[in-house]
Amino acid sequence: MASPGLLLALGLFMGLSVAAHAEPLDEPLKPLPPVPALDPRRVQLGQRLFHDPRLSVNNTLSCASCHRLDKGGADDKPQSLGFDGKPVEVNTPTVFNASLNFHQFWDGRVDTLEEQVHIVVTSPTEMGSTWEAVVKRIGDDPGYAKDFKQAYPDGVTLPNIQGALADFERTLLTPNSRFDQYLLGNTDILTPREKFGYQRFKEYGCIACHQGVNIGGNMFQKFGVMGDYIADLGNPTRADGGRFNVTGDEADRQVFKVPSLRNVAVTAPYFHKGSAATLEQAVEVMFKYQLGREPVGKDTELIVEFLKTLTGEWEGKPL
């Protein structure tokens, strides 16, 4: 029988990846699931609708106008501009991996992607349209009418438009980040500094809120546990109420859905009003206002290095 060393040498000589045979790590964070198998006709319809400005009242704004797939599925402005050219209330969260969130929107006011589509299309500050108008526009398009009939027995309807958009968004997962490869057993893919950044991320307690497969997106938390960030920032607005605007419960004031940290290095600016311009600033705010701690030495820098390993791929290319 060949020795383990000889087998390793043969594997390297033949170009085989030893890491590919490694066991997945037992960590509190988990790699992304595979893209779900959905009807490709419906997904393709959803992709077209996602880029179609006819969903807005004045044909100027599509989903892709704010959820820019070339900008990490978010926007590069603190607040996106609505159909009327005015800023909306909150920063646009990324659409990538949004299907893994337990609720949608910063204040978590809906549970499903279909409901999220409904709110955005009819919002007086976002798309400003009505479903009656949207269904007519899409139904009057011969290409859409034909393709919807092939994908859905009842053709162009409100639920089918919402369903197609939601199905497309369910395919917007970003696998194969370097950190996912690490979790799957390729421990050599991270540098020692990145690994140490991950350790510090856990040791400081960041992982108490940013956990699970989406590294966030599955719980609510008050923004400013150890200090009033919103008051210190100044110029408060209705959007700062967070969950309070949904429930009316004073305990929910300044409570928001914890955002996913996947692809966080490419989705600046940060927080619900885009108040942190850089990832370093965002980490420093978290240290002060969520943890009530001062980072030791270069720990902010190390955690940022770890966070950059969370950038995944879409259509086979890094975001």
> What residue has token string 């607040």?
79
Residue 22: per-residue pLDDT = 81
Name the burial class of residue 317, with classes exposed (0-12), middle (13-18) and buried (19+) by CB atoms within 10 angstroms of its CB. Answer: exposed
Tokens of 166: 């939601």
Buried b (16+ CB within 10 A) or exposed e, 53-64: ebbbbeebbbbb
Name the burial class of residue 131, with classes exposed (0-12), middle (13-18) and buried (19+) by CB atoms within 10 angstroms of its CB. Answer: middle
* CA distances to 54, 164, 172, 227 from 46, in Å: 13, 4, 11, 42
Residue 30: per-residue pLDDT = 94
State the Cα–Cα distance between residues 113 and 120, nearest whole angstrom: 11
Q: Model pTM?
A: 0.91
Q: Are 212 and 32 in contact (CB under 8 A)?
A: no
Question: Taking the alpha carbons of 86, 261, 229, 296 in that order, is the dihedral positive or negative?
Answer: negative
**What stretch of H or E contains 250?**
none
Q: Are 121 and 82 in contact (CB under 8 A)?
A: no
Q: Write out residues in the chain with pLDDT < 50, as ranges.
A: 1-20
Residue 21: per-residue pLDDT = 57
Residue 240: per-residue pLDDT = 98
| Active-site annotation, residues | 126
Tokens of 168: 């497309």
Minimal CA–CA distance to 172: which of 28, 31, 273, 50? 50
Tokens of 114: 């279909």
Which residues, other chains included, contact 102 with Cβ-Cβ below 8 Å and sequence gap of 6+?
Answer: 108, 111, 217, 218, 219, 257
Tokens of 208: 């108490």
Quick check: helix, strand or coil at residue 29? strand
pLDDT digits (tens, 9 = 90+) for 186-196: 999 999 999 99
